[in-house]
Structures are given as structure tokens and as C-alpha cells.
Structure 1
């Protein structure tokens, strides 16, 4: 009886969520699920799956395959049901070592071999109509990239959503260790369900911050979940560009360039994978493919994002699976935050963009003209009281995305440079670079650059940001160094009367692990060193942020 009540409650939740997504009306609400279908892998391991399909439909339907480490019921049914109600049968499979599937869960390693074996199994099933689509966000999106270059002709489309062909991008990049994301996902691995993890997130975030302040990152998994986790330790030792990940079949940045199946890539401006999702899009384009790209005002966990994926899956991908003609449109659609409108382009970044140079000036000014001779601005970064992260693009459901930064900007370790009010709407769309002249008292430090939109009420809302590590020898430290920071891309309109603000600091803790000030000790060091920082802005050291805009909208 309790199982029936549970199913009914999730069905009701599905209807509520679909209404919030503004989805088109379904073909049916009568969905049945065939539980615990067994798929045997070549090594004998058995993986379990649930098959969702309309209960009153007698014809054949295309199949949507979703491979997940997060179970097959509850929250995941909220993803499967909308597709099953609109023209698919949905096979939701638990990856190796999760939710009853055999073997050991070794994150990312088995998704290529197991994914291809599962596709072969699907093709042989009597209920398969000859047409397969691969779908799912995050880890489930990675599972698509893992097989994309090797799928058979029966696969008509893939829908990689808020993901990367190398998921290590979410945890450890050359420019910094994303400690919060890694500990968050580690905790999820040791939590019974996604729901219970999300429900405990507020207390969890306080505990996570405390764990990272109590000791080095390298053993924070033990302090967080009571034991060391091999995957956590691998990620700590190898950043995303390390060739190690290619040898263990986790980095698929090269293999996706051989992808021939049509792909529709979906991303969010506040998603932790954003620049890497866009990198994957460019890789396909540069390889001669014609992928679609949708980027909306979404975080990693966002109903709007799921709605976009379902619409794309039940319109574009379903048409391909049925052999129907797909209406022509520009392949790139992005949501412009601020003006709150969708724009279409032939490619990303927009080919018509020009670059505006915004120069840092003394006394916190920001202008399109170079600065006159002036003394540098100074601040002190103390890793014992690290500059906190506010908003950010991260693996979380709360306190993520755009936030008011005024409290952060009142700290003594944060500099701000602000333009005058915009005379008219000013649109920034594309990739952003900052060139900042820095001198630090420490051989290792971080430089964090953030773009903010200051409205007429004085609220300073984060738009996008970027960070890089700066390491110098003793000889180099005597002179200021030009530091390049790749700020995350955006599509944002600064409305008339609003002001553009640039934030400069040396951290965003705990999203990025704090820099203790010594080379090679970010993840293991226990001694913390204060860094005295100088930011230069004079004719010999022009600190500037380069913003992409269009001639008609600048």
C-alpha cells in the first residue's frame, strides 16, 4: 500500500513540476513502468533498468535511454515521465554499482563500455522500434558523450545537458580546485537518495565550510563522510587537463570530435559546466558537425533547464527519431539576462561581436579610456579568513547564481571598479577576458575577477566570474605581472541607468579551495600565509577587461 501511495505522490509531483515548466499538453497521463529489467555486460555484470511507457498505446515508440548513478525512482521518475507522456518509451538504467546494478561504482570509468553494451542490448529487444535517443543532464549527459563517437545508426540524436565530455572539469581545473563541488558530490555518493541530500543542504553547507577550514583539502573526504574515497583522492591528485584521465577512459574531449549523431547541447549561464559545455559545442563545430546549442538563465539544478531539455527532446529529437522533417532555425539560442529575451545566432561566440576595453582607474573608477598615471590599489588576502564565495556556478540548489554582492564588496579584501550609469542598454554576449597587472607578496596566490550589474537601487548582482592561480619566482615577484583571467562567458544586458562593476579579489571560498600562499601546497598545506596584493592601473600597466558586444548594441 505504501509503495502505491509513493508512486501516486510522485505522479502528482510530476504534474506540478511539468506545470511549472510550461510544457505542452501530454498525449497521455497513463504511464506504466516495467521494473528491474536486466542487462548483462560483457564481463557478466548485470545492470538494472526501469522501462516507462504509455499504458494505453499499442503501437511502436522511439526509446529514450537515460543512464544514471542516482537511482531509478523518485526524483529520476520526474525526468522520465514527461518524455513517456509525450511520445517515448523511456529506459532508465542504473549504472554499474548503483541502485541494485551489479559491480562496483567507479565514477565515469565504465560508462563507455557499459553504455555501448546497453545500446546493443536495447536494439535486440522486441519492444524496440529501431529508433533510439540518448538523454539526461549532468552525469547522465557525460554518459552520452562517453559513447557518442561509437553509437550505431539506430541512435538518431543525443541531448547532453549541463555536462562536459570531461566531468573532472567540475571538480579540479588547472586554474583551481573546486573543493565545494567535489565534497558536495562525495557527500551525495554516501547519502541514501538525491532527495535526502537536497533536504539537508543548508546544514550540509555549513559543515562543508567548517571541514575545509579545519584542515587541508587532501583528507577532507574523511572528515566529511568518515572515510577516504578513491575517486576523491584521484581528483585531488589529477586536474582535468592531466593526461591521466585519458588513460582511464574518463576524458572524452578528443573522441567527441568524431561524433556524427545529431546533438542538441543545453546549458545554463549559472551552471558549473558552462565553459566546458561551450567548449564541447565548439569542438563539434570545428570538426564539421552542426550541433544545436541552447543556453538559458539556469543553474545546475533548475526546473527551467529540465523543461528546455524535455521540449528539445519531445520536439527536435522526437522528430528525428520518427524520420520527420525538422524546421530550420539558427542553431544557437541564448537567453539575454537583463533584457530577458531569447536571441538566435548562427554560431557561438556570435560572429559579429566586437570588443570593448574597460580600463581600471584609481579611486574605484571604470572607463573605456585608459587610466592616467596613478598609484596601485592594495588589499590583503588572509587564507585564515578567506574571501567567501557569493552566488557562483556550483553543484548546489540554494544560494547559487545571481546574488546581491554588497556585503562581499564591503570587505577589505575585495576591490571594486565601477562605471558611470549606462546612457542606453549595453549588451554583452560572448567570451570575456581580463588582463590585470598584479604584484603579490607571496609566490603563489589567486586572482578572482567578477563582473557585476549595479542597478538603480545600488544592488550589485554578479553576472559572471573567473579565477586563475599566479605563481612567481623570487626574482619575478619584484615586478608587477600581467595576469590573464578567462572570465566565464555570458549574455547580459546592462539596462540604461545601470552601472558595470568589476570586482577584484584573491578567492571565492569554499567553491574554490583557498590558496595558502606557497607553491604546491594548495591541497596539502596546513600553514597559511597572508598575501599583500597590489593592482596596477597606469599607462605602463593597463589593467583592462575585454567585453564582447555588437556594434548596434554598445
Structure 2
């Protein structure tokens, strides 16, 4: 039976854009749309009739409904900005070989150079965009074109390797993330098809897809099954380049929030860069769905509903417009920008001069009552003091019956925003809950767990999720993290970073922690045999032991701020 797939090709160029085939230094031409505002000629300014430019470089079809950049461009042009949107090399209308990352610095530089030589350009360029088109901004920073004055990277990372494998850590196979390259980086088109992630070996189905398509993904081949990879920042790293003002736009429910916040925290501590780092952090996910609307109704789904998109776009674009008004147009004072503007989920927006806020503090919850941890929520306890006596609890990881993710697409996690209480009730999941809150508990900063875990398996995974347990018994995600552990490395505490969050646990609610050894289908289950999970043919259950109390007290550490006014 032929392998079924759908090929997605380029949509038409919008009527209000003009497409150019912009020549790069090696002769390859990239499809580039230009949107211009109405020219203003009644001014004595030396740049009358010219505009600062906002550049967006992306691989997802610049004209597609999915990225709605024609609509975004109209918001910028209405504020006096030219907008340039480009299909990156090898994608959709652009020429060249389809390989991510490697040519983005040169192509970014050459595109900026083309912009500044246009009659409508005033010589100042900023960049904007999400995910991969956040990465292309960092690549352009590394190329150091003098016309690049500011960037607004959203839900992204300067080095995509930090997403698959954080520095100094091993990580479970994020199948959903790695297969991105098998769908979007094969040739000029993108491809949709369905993989049965429970079949072994899972790699075989991707081979079937590539044979059916007639081409394959170079970067997927690097990451799976060899689990290797090239640097996504060849040459000068952007953090070692000339500093430019950056507005980091982060989503607390973004599935790569940890990588983006590591970028922000590093740059905020670097002399030269620190003065020009700004943070906007909202209770949104990678696809810009909001906690305030989760789970998302059809009426609020901006991916399918035009009215919902129109309502969403100002919140999406305005932070960037305000930032560019300061650093590109120079029509607003620097003092008009907050260094940090962040949303406290279920409460509202806050500002601060630093992140985490200056009045924040770490609060530690100690895992206790392990004998109850295998029960349904509230299960075991989270308390302010560690237990005096050693305790332990065991759970089994069966690769053939993994813990369900409850979402098929974690990029749009808030679209479904599932209740995790049924997962917590499973016998292969541990759960610990704090006391019912009489006052709000406001989280604002990093979250991590320190665990003492051993396993009968040579290699095993640990998934940790902090959840909000409501008085109705439903549990919803606040923060998550995961790590891979190899036998012989478990004598010391295992630390799992869960990224950063801004979230209010309301009175009547509890903070809770879920621990498991799988999260399927988003991650490939560890087979329990020590084999590569991409190619493993067999699986073997394993038993994990968590220790609490005494000298091996496991804990959850959250960053809290004093209760703010509602």
C-alpha cells in the first residue's frame, strides 16, 4: 500500500505585496515580499518618503494562512514601517538547497544589504518572528550587518541544539520536535503524514515517508537515529557579536521556553548585552494560544477563525511595534519601555526591572508520604520541611504501555489544555500535592526538581510536571521538564529543570508534582534495554525507585513573589 502524504506548496503572493527574487552572494535567489506604507512627502526630513524596515525570514511559506504575515505586515505598515518577508533558502518560492541553519547568517546579511540599497529604505532594519524565524534573527546578529538595529525573537532559541540536548544534560528523544525536520526540511514544499509512534522500529515509517516523497531530510538524518548533529550556529556565535537591542518574547506554556529563557538569562548577565535586553513573557504557548482562553473554543481559535485572528494580532504585534518605535524610528523615549513585562497567569500583567523580580525568593517543597504517591491526586505530600526518616516508592515503566501525553501537538498545548488528573491516577505515575492554599501562591521565575532515583534499567527517563490541582479535582500543567539518566550516575541528586513560569495558584487550589518515565507520543519511550529508541525492536519494563526524606530527600524548588494586588 502506498504511503499516504499531503504536499503543501506555496500560496499566492498577496495583492498588497510585491515579490522580488533577491540575489545572495553565491547567486541563489530568495523569494522576498515587500509591503510598503503610504509615502509621506510633506516633511523636511532627509529620509522623506523612506521607511525603517522590519525583516522576517522563515521556512513555512511566507504567503500561507498559517503564519498570517500579510496581516501582520499591515499592522506594521500602518505604523510607518516597510515590511520584508522572505522564504529562506530551499523553501517554497526560494532557490537553493533545502538545509536548515547553515546559510542563515550569510543570507540574513545579504538580505539586509539588499534592503538598505532600496529607494524606500532609510537604512535602518529590525527583525521579527517566531520559532525558526526567531533563529534567523540570531543568525543575522552573528553576521553583524551595521544596519541591523534591533530584533524581536519570539518563542525560539539562538542555538536549536539547546532544544534537543541542553548543555551538560541528556534528554529523552523529543519525537514531536525532531520529526519537524522530516515534515518541513525535505525540499521546497512541506509534507503532512501520520506516523504510528507505537510501532517498532519507529524509524522505518520515516523511511517509508521519504521513499514515497522521493526525497529525504538531511537534518532529520543527523538527529535520528544517530542522535548526532551539526552546530546550528556555524562561525561566530551571536552572543559574541556586536550587541543589538533584543526584545525576547517568551511564552510560559511554550514547549521550548527553557531554551529561550536560558538565552535571555545569559545575555542579561553579559556586559555589553545586559543593557539592551528586554523581556516580554506571556501566559501563551508556541502557537500563541492564551491561558485565559484555554481550552480554546472554535470562536477563539485564531488558526481557523478570521475574527479570532483579528482579535489576537494586536497583542501579537504591538510589543514589537513599540520596541521598534524606540530603536528604529526613535520616536518614543527609551524610558517608555519596561525592562521586563510579564504575565502572572490567572492574575494579569506586571513589570519589573529584572527577572526574576527583585523581591522573588526560592521556596522548597519536600516530597513526603511516598506510600501514597501511587494513588490518585492529592496522593503524596509536598511540605515545607523534609521528612526525618528515609522513605521510598517504586513505579514501573512499561515501554509497551507508556504514560499518555494527552495532546498530540505540544506546540499548541493550551488549545486543549487537558486535565492531567487521570494521568496522575495511573500506577506508573507518582503524584505529590501541597496543602490547600488559603492565599494565592504566585510563581515568578525558574522551577526545578531535585530527585534521588535509581532504576533497574541501564538507561531511563524522568518526566516531571508541576500542575495546578483545583478544588474540582482537575489538574492543569504549569511547568514541565525531563531528563535521561544512565546507570551509575544516580548516586547524586538528579536535577530536572522545568523552565520558568509566571503563574498564580489561587485560593482553594494546590501545587502538585507528577513524576513518570514516559510521555507518549510526544517522546519516544526508553526501551528499557539500553538500545537506541529509534531502532529498538524489543522493549523491557523497568522499575524506578524514588527516595524521600532523611539523607536522600527529594524536593521541588519554585520561585515565588509576595502576593501582588489583583
Q: TM-score, normalised by structure 1?
A: 0.84
Residue from 8, 13, 16 that aligns with 1:32: 16
Of 490, 504, 509, 1:498 maps to 509
In the alignment, the residues of structure 1 paired with residue 226 and residue 340 of structure 2 have an alpha-carbon distance, to the nearest angstrom, of 33
Corresponding position: 1:547 with 2:558: yes
Q: Work out which of the residue numbers 55, 63, 86 in structure 2 matches 1:73.
A: 63
Instruction: Give deviations 1:1-37, integer Å, cap 9, x for gaps.
Output: xxxxx98xx98xxxxxxxxxxxxxxxxxxx83212x1
Asked if the contact 1:390/1:399 (under 8 Å) is kept, the reply is: no
SS at match of 1:213: coil
DSSP-derived class of the 2:140 partner: coil
Question: Residue 382 and residue 224 in structure 1: after superposition, are their counterparts in 2 closer, same or farther (change >3 A)?
Answer: farther
After superposition, residues 54-453 of structure 1 pair within 5 angstroms as 54=37, 59-75=49-65, 76-171=69-164, 173=166, 174-189=170-185, 207-208=194-195, 210=196, 212-225=197-210, 226=212, 228-236=216-224, 245-246=230-231, 249-250=233-234, 254-288=237-271, 289=273, 290-302=276-288, 307-328=314-335, 329-339=337-347, 341-362=348-369, 363=372, 364-373=380-389, 375-390=391-406, 394-395=410-411, 397=412, 402-453=417-468
Tell which deviates more after alignment, 499-508 or 344-353.
344-353
**Alpha-carbon offset, residue 488 of structure 1:** 2.1
Partner deviation per Cα, 1:55-94 (whole Å, 9 max, x = no partner): 5755222111111112221323233232223221111111
Q: CA distance change for structure 1 residues 180 and 238 in 2, over 3 Å: closer, same or farther?
A: same
Q: Distance in 1 between matches of 2:38 and 2:362?
A: 56
More helix by share: 1
Cα drift, residue 245 of structure 1: 2.9
RMSD (Å) for aligned C-alpha atoms: 2.8
- Report the Cα offset of residue 54 of structure 1: 2.8
Q: Distance in 2 between matches of 1:400 and 1:388?
A: 17
CA contact (8 A) 1:218 1:233 kept: no
Residue 469 (structure 1) aligns with:
484
Task: Give secondary structure in 1 for the equivalent of 2:356.
Answer: coil
The answer for unaligned runs of 5 or more in structure 2 is: 1-10, 42-48, 291-311, 373-379
Helix, strand or coil at the partner of 1:116: helix
User: In 2, Cα distance between the equivalents of 1:525 and 1:278?
Assistant: 34
Q: Deviations over 1:290-349 (max 9, x none)?
A: 21111101111126686444112222213321232424243111111132x112222223
CA contact (8 A) 1:219 1:228 kept: no
- Distance verdict in 2 for CA 1:401–1:155, change over 3 Å: farther
Count of aligned pairs:
504
Supply the distance in 2 between the matched residues of 1:188 and 1:79 (Cα, whole angstroms). 22
The two structures have a TM-score, normalised by structure 2, of: 0.82
Matched-pair contact (CA < 8 Å) for 1:32–1:54: no
Going from structure 1 to structure 2, the CA distance change for 1:393 and 1:175 (only over 3 Å counts) comes to farther
For 1:495 and 1:365, the matched residues in 2 are separated by 19
- 1:376–1:536 Cα contact (<8 Å) kept: yes
Residue of structure 2 aligned with 1:516, choices 513, 527, 532 = 527
Displacement of 1:387 in angstroms is 1.2
8 A Cα contact 2:141 2:148, kept in partner: no
Cα pair 1:170 1:178 within 8 Å, conserved: no
* 1:299 and 1:393 in contact (8 A); partners too: no
Report if aligned partners of 2:463, 2:517 keep a CA contact under 8 Å in 1. Answer: yes
Deviations 1:216-244 (Å, cap 9, x if unpaired)?
354442245546422101123676xx7x5
